[in-house]
Structure 1
Amino acid sequence: MGPRMALALLSSLSPEELTAAVEGGQWQVLAQAPGVGRRTAERVVVELKGKLSKLVQPPAAPLRDDAISALVNLGYPSKQAADVVSALLREKADWQLPDLLREALRRLVKDKALG
């Protein structure tokens, strides 16, 4: 697959949709991208099956890791950052990273003021 093919596929599908189509052998989904025909879509499925799923991670782990990393980079101890982020993720699972960081910082600042 060349760069034009990759751009055509990624302009039509999200990385998650592309991975699901390839892993599910759904060449029809890939063939809907501009410039991608049946034979090309089938070839993409054959060549990439089993390779893309390793690249697309589940969303919860990277969100947690990214939030902890950001807090550690701001100077908070990793254990304290991990505890706050884990507590927030237990309370609400569908955080966006900016909102999660904002709330984590509020709690960390509040705990520091109380302590």
Structure 2
Amino acid sequence: MLAYIRGKLATVAMGWVVVEVQGIGYRLHIPAMTPLPGIGQEVKFHTHMVVREDGLQVYGFSREDQMECFLALLDVAGVGPKVALAVVSFLQPEALRLAVAGGDVNPLVKVPGVGKKTAQRILLELKDKLKGPFEGNDLSESAGPVSGQTAAAEEDAVAALLSLGYGQAEARQAVDKACKKTAPGDVSHIIKYALKELAPAK
């Protein structure tokens, strides 16, 4: 099993690269928008190998948490490497974790190849596997002025919503409403309530 590959970037194409290591070129499927150096420069990718009937495929990720999300998605029924790669290409790990924590299908259904049923299955099956980015960090119990913590938590919540594709105005409004329903400084709960505010009415 390949844990990672470090070598020189030899080829860059749409959705894949070739990394040369001691004269051997490894072709890696990578997420779209992966930041890359110039040809000939050193790169390192965390890797996962998928064995298929028609051969082996290696997937590479510049961020380890991105690969963790990819592997979690592969455990979801009906989600293969192609769809999992599309999800991590479209959503950064923080955004995916926020969507799962808030039970929000909206970011997922925007991913090419992911329908509503698949998105709902992803949310259901990853609920206990992907922890929210702020889980375990209870700002309301940490030291420091409560007012300062509250303001910082609100700004973090707004920034998280912006990363999911919401506009500045709607994100701010949702956070303001959420802050009236949860403890000051609790970022994870603010985000969860804000996502509920932003969810379309049924």
TM-score (norm 1): 0.45
Q: Which has the higher strand share?
A: 2
**Per chain length, whose mean CA-contact separation is higher, i.e. which structure has more relative contact order (CA < 8 Å, sep 6+)?**
1
TM-score (norm 2): 0.26
Q: Which has the higher helix share?
A: 1
Larger radius of gyration: 1
